[in-house]
Amino acid sequence: MWRWPVAGLRRIAAGARAALRRAPWLRAALGPALPALRGFGSALPRIGYGDWIAAHDAPSERDRARLRAEIATWDAPPLLSVVMPAYDTADALLRAAIASVQAQLYPHWELCIADDASPSPHVARTLAELAAADPRIRWVRRDVNGNISAASNTALALAKGEWVVLMDHDDLLPETALFRVAAEIRRHPEAAVIYSDEDKVDERGRRSDPYFKADFDPDLLLVQNMVGHLGAYRRELLERIGGFRLGFEGSQDHDLALRAVGAAGTKAVRHIPRVLYHWRQGAAASSSSECRVERCANAARRAITDALAAAGSPAQVVPNPLLRVCHRIMYPLPDPPPLVSVIVPTRDRGELLGACLDGLLHRTDYPRIEVIILDNESTEPQTLALLDRLREDPRVRILGVPGAFNYSRLNNLAVTEARGEVLLLLNNDIEVIEPGWLREMVSQAMRPEIGAVGAKLLYPDDTVQHAGVLLGTGWPGGVAGYCYPHARRDDPGPFGLLAVTRTVSAVTGACLAVRRALYEEVGGLDEEDLKVAYNDVDFCLRLRARGYRNLWTPFALLYHKESASRGDDQRGAKAARFRSETAVMRARWGEALDQDPCWNPNLSLLTGWPDLAEPPRVPRW
């Protein structure tokens, strides 16, 4: 039975209430329905992760029989070596971890365990007992405690499989985990690194806090070990890079992932959008990443620095001001910094344009800008007086462009007049908050592999308006919407994703930086079929189709009053035009809109938040 994700419905209600605050005409139209909307959400029944697991994640006996029958038809099924370092593990947790491997539906595995000279004698006794009963379990006791990297290498040396699967000594694998890894290997023989989604499990076996990850993102991997659990690697690759490095304990898995991806290349990384790992939480579990946060952060910073150096990148790693346990990668500007052509379409509303240009010209810490204002038939005296004053600044040019508002045409026209190496598309209702925003955007946009760069935009109430564009969501039409709308300004977001630079499918044209050469390469904005709506999404998707990655950065922070100068798109002739542009996007990008690689198919498209999809957009088996 299909069920609404309750947390998602509550967010829809919150978003609707926020929309009412911004739209007096809508409040008047709804009238008597408002009290019901205000109460919506609080009366909804709670449907939790456990119910979702039962409906979409737990295999039935029929499923198990089907998977076993499928495995029996495989020629040369790969041997998977599960590598497990162990140290003073509580006996019940160690036995449960090993039992979860033995319960795998996929039978072609070996479990390679290194006891890192545990002082408690029960560890060796338990390993000896279980290995004697199951020849697939191989273990060795180290004479001297060497910490987790050394113990992992000792366990890795026992491995004979073509692939290595990493597992901690007190965690659990779901019974389908190794089957799904083996199936992915068969489907993608070019793969060298495979990772999955994960969740947490407590001492009573209750699962919670699922991390449904995006497809592979090189920028996110730099600052967060998105491979993590469940991580699988070609054994040859791990041997080639020397296994785990001593001295990186606490972030040894992150260091391994960075070096493995650096050696294999990003195209060799595969993501399985399924929870294939249960990470043990609670008083009984001991994890260096929980107990020694600062040590882990320092080890990760050294690993990231080494990875950047190995790639020949001049970027630097600094502490993340938004999340203590995370990092920020700062890319230097070229010397001299490129000229940035800031393109600002406008029509009247001089108070908005004045605030935008004041921040841009006087409170932005960037040395080389030119501003091209496209005046689309302004008539208000206040605006005309402002434009006259702006003409006195040698950095500003004003082009009068008559005719109906066509956002794409205005920007394309400005590009033909622009002299800058970098273009910045900027709405006239943007206000500067911090001086370094443009440096951040340009430094990211100048990276050869990067397409469009978007900023963190806030509503005037200090909640998030733009943290990247999510495909397939939004109302009406299911074309695109915003990620994490109305999050608090200082909220690091789920799994820190509002605090880190990351790949997104698209960014808003309200504040978009891109190299001029790329703008011209893809033909600019579509001024024929997408005059107002979705031209920025279409532009970003064309960049992506050419092999460039679009980025969102939280370190360029601005206010956005979102279409304050142009009004609403959902009434009258504007509504008809919006429907037409929605149809164009659906016809042009339909399949891509339904499969955003930056948003896990187990997550809902209703809210822009990581609420559970009902049902998931991924085949069950």
pLDDT band at 475 (very low <50, low <70, confident <90, very high): low
326 exposure class (CB count in 10 Å sphere: 0-12, 13-18, 19+) = middle
pLDDT by residue (tens digit) across 14-37?
A: 555 444 444 433 434 443 443 343
d(CA 518, CA 422): 9
Band (559; pLDDT cuts 50, 70, 90): very high
- Percent of the chain exceeding pLDDT 70 equals 88
**Does residue 177 register a pLDDT over 60?**
yes
Confidence of residue 432 (pLDDT cuts 50, 70, 90): very high
Which 3-state string (H, E, C) describes 379-429? CCHHHHHHHHHHCCCCCEEEEECCCCCCHHHHHHHHHHHCCCCEEEEECCC
Q: What is the pLDDT of residue 15?
A: 52
| Whether the predicted model's global pTM rises above the 0.85 cut | yes
Closest-CA residue to 264 (of 238, 230, 228): 238
Count CA atoms within 13 Å of residue 381 on its CB side.
0
Tell me the C-alpha distance between 272 and 274, whole Å.
6
Do 68-310 and 340-593 agree at the fold level?
Answer: yes
Confidence of residue 576 (pLDDT cuts 50, 70, 90): confident
Model confidence at 57: pLDDT above 90 = yes
The pLDDT of 49-60, averaged and rounded, is 95
Measured CA to CA, the distance from residue 88 to residue 151 in angstroms comes to 13
Quickly name the fold that domain 68-310 has.
Answer: Spore Coat Polysaccharide Biosynthesis Protein SpsA; Chain A (3.90.550)
Q: DSSP labels for 225-277?
A: -SS-SSEEEEHHHHHHTTSSPTT-TTSHHHHHHHHHHHHH-GGGEEEEEEEEE
DSSP 182: H
Residue 281: band (very low, low, confident or very high) from pLDDT cuts 50, 70, 90: confident
Q: pLDDT confidence of 324, banded at 50, 70, 90?
A: confident
Closest CA to 303 of 239, 236, 257: 257
pLDDT band at 70 (very low <50, low <70, confident <90, very high): very high
Mean pLDDT of 242-268: 97
Q: Give the pLDDT of residue 34.
A: 38
Q: What is the pLDDT of residue 476?
A: 55
Half-sphere exposure of 580 (CA within 13 A, CB side): 10
The mean pLDDT of 457-470, rounded to a whole number, is 97
| C-alpha–C-alpha distance, residues 28 and 20, integer Å | 9
**Mean pLDDT in residue range 384-412:** 97
Q: What is the mean pLDDT of residues 502-512?
A: 98
Indicate if the pLDDT at residue 357 is higher than 80.
Answer: yes
- What residue spans define the domains of the chain? 6-39, 68-310, 340-593
Q: Would the pLDDT of 456 be above 70?
A: yes
β-bridge partners, 346: 375
| pLDDT in the model for residue 572 | 61
Average the pLDDT over each of 38-42, 260-264, 540-544, 587-591 and give the range with the smallest value: 38-42
Each residue of 217-252: pLDDT tens digit?
Answer: 999 999 999 999 999 999 999 999 999 999 999 999
Using pLDDT thresholds of 50, 70 and 90, give the confidence band for residue 563: low
Span 154-176, average pLDDT: 98
For position 293, what pLDDT does the model report?
Answer: 79
| Average pLDDT along the chain | 91
Rounded average pLDDT over 181-201: 98
CATH no. for 340-593: 3.90.550.60
> What DSSP state is assigned to residue 30?
H
